[in-house]
């Protein structure tokens, strides 16, 4: 049962274990590591509501930051539509998926083409996809 001191509510390890379903060992480890802020009074740890909110807010902020970083780390891609045999020697460079799909629509025989997906900055080939598979993957 949490302890109330005026407007302050203090939760013990036992309280947090019951409320959150997290093992007591894990909670103590979080407190020792500083992941969860608390104070030790005598032999018992106590955590405020504010510290619990802060812990969850921090985790949400870190999750949002890491997803933003992942988006930023994705390379800018370039799509090269190219013929796969001697009958079709043309090649066209596209910057977006929709532009690539438009280019493919203008071709008479799609099975004669493939898409080379490259990193625009380094020129490194990431993947080569048959035109039909590219259309199925990117839907139209």
How large is the C-alpha radius of gyration of the chain? 28
CATH 1.10.1740 fits domain 3-72: no
Global pTM reads: 0.47
Q: What is the structure's pLDDT at 75?
A: 75
pLDDT at 32: 86
Which string of DSSP letters, residue by residue, matches the chain?
A: --EEETTEEEEEHHHHHHHH---HHHHHHHHHHTSS--EEETTEEEEEHHHHHHHHHHHHHHHHHHHHHHHHHSPPEEEEEEESSTT---EEEESSHHHHHHHHHT-S-GGGEEEEEEETTT--EEEEEEHHHHHHHT--
Which pLDDT score, from 0 to 100, does residue 65 have?
62
According to the model, what pLDDT value does residue 55 have? Answer: 84
Give 10-residue mean pLDDT values along the chain (140 residues).
88 93 90 88 90 80 60 78 78 89 86 90 89 84
């Amino acid at each position: 049962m949490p302890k109330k001191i005026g407007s302050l509510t203090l939760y013990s390890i036992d309280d947090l274990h019951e409320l959150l379903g997290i093992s007591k060992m894990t909670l103590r480890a979080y407190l020792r590591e500083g992941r969860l802020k608390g104070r030790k009074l005598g032999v018992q740890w106590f955590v405020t509501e504010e510290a619990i909110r802060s812990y969850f807010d921090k985790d949400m902020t870190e999750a949002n930051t890491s997803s933003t970083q992942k988006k930023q780390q994705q390379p800018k891609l370039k799509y090269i539509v190219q013929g796969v045999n001697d009958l079709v020697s043309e090649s066209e460079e596209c910057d977006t998926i929709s532009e690539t799909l438009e280019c493919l629509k203008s071709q008479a025989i799609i099975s004669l083409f493939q898409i080379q997906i490259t990193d625009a900055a380094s020129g490194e080939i990431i993947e080569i996809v048959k035109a039909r598979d590219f259309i199925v993957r990117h839907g139209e």
